[in-house]
Amino acid sequence: MTDRTDRDRGREQQARGQGPFGSAPPLGTIFGIPLRLHWSAPLLALLLGLSLGAGTLPHWVPGRSQATYTLAGTIGALLLVASLVLHEGAHAVVTRRAGVKVEDMTVWALGGVTRMDRADRPRAALAIAAAGPLTSLLLGGIGLGAAFWLLHGPHWTVAGDVLLWYGWANLLLAAFNLIPAAPLDGGRVLQAALWWRTGDRARAEQASGRSGQVFGALMIGFGALVLLRGGAGGLWLMLIGFFVLTTAQAEARQSATQAMLHGVRLAQLMSAPVATAPDWLTVERFVEEVAGASRHTHLPVLDLQGRPSGIVSLRRLGQVPPASRALTRISEVALPIGQVPLAAPDDELTEVMERMTPGAPLRVLVLEGQELVGIVTAHDVSRFLQQRLALGGPR
């Protein structure tokens, strides 16, 4: 399971509902939090149900009908998927109780992802990270306890063995997630503990990222060894290891970037002067007279008083049919100023990004009073980072 924050780790997922392998449709809400189910989760339930009903249960409890095994296997698989939902739900509930905003949670084959803002205290981060594995441990204990009672009380062997399988599966899930390697929950626990001890969040993130890279590489190597010896499970281990490795690498890069941008103010990044135009211009005139004079893909527009009234993207302009460009005004296609991030030159970039809408492209209008003095986009940030690296900044 992973807890991904949209502001510091999830910006690569540009659309809401994007999970590790693509979009996930909404199913409703649980604990008041939107729940999404990736297509791989039902596939996992199907595979687990077939494995439990066709292999495990006939071996543990021989002599029953195939229909009994199939039904029991299906129930066991659904119980485990429900456990994944509760695991993620625990993360989300504790996050919300800590005063941190939760976007949604997505369940998929390798666990789940809870999209949230950053916790501003290590204690809160530690509680959020530990909530999921502790829930799995609790569910595992309940499953084993119920299995013991069914097997030694009413002697319901099929139901007892399903709960026995369910309990051990949850305990294994908790143990795996507590491995101290990002992006697993154990990596988040390690990160929060180091942050609490040292007071240095960036250093803690880099340490958990490195541990994730090492663990992911070891899993890939071990999975390849198992596969070469004829074990089909080696492919599954390699898949999980690859996910852990690549995610940890991305988080390490993101952490290093955040460290380089710490304390950087918009005045150091912004492009000025800014190419602007009145919002009453037609799209045709705007393209001919303004768009070509700027290196940015998002351009601010001004009202009759010369104040920013919105921002328009070249992509949006390109979507206007050529036959309509001479009749369509920029104000009709521009993003209104109320939906555009605004900041002052002395504001820090990281603080401004914390306030931005998840998944939105980075484009901030910089104002002094009501006067537009600059714009900051991803292009400006990239240029600043390249300059800092060229001058010997942290890598």
* Residues catalogued as catalytic: 88
Angle, CA 81 vertex, CA 79 and CA 84 arms, to 5°: 115
- The gap between the terminal CA atoms of the chain, to the nearest Å, is 29
User: Which of 366, 210, 190, 184 lies closest to 273 in space, CA to CA?
Assistant: 366
Reading the block at residue 136, the tokens are 């799995």
| CA–CA separation, 139 and 223 (whole Å) | 28
Residue 116 neighbours by CB under 8 Å, 6+ apart: 3, 4, 5, 6, 92, 95, 100, 101, 102, 103, 128
Strands 102-108 and 335-336: unpaired
Q: Which residues contact 109 (CB under 8 A, 6 or more apart)?
A: 38, 40, 41, 43, 44
H helix runs in 282-337, sequence order? 283-289, 314-318, 330-333
Helix (H/G/I), strand (E/B), else coil: 5: strand
For 233, other C-beta atoms within 10 Å of its C-beta total 10
The SS3 call for residue 90 is helix
Cα–Cα distance measured from residue 311 to residue 338, given in angstroms and rounded to the nearest whole number: 10
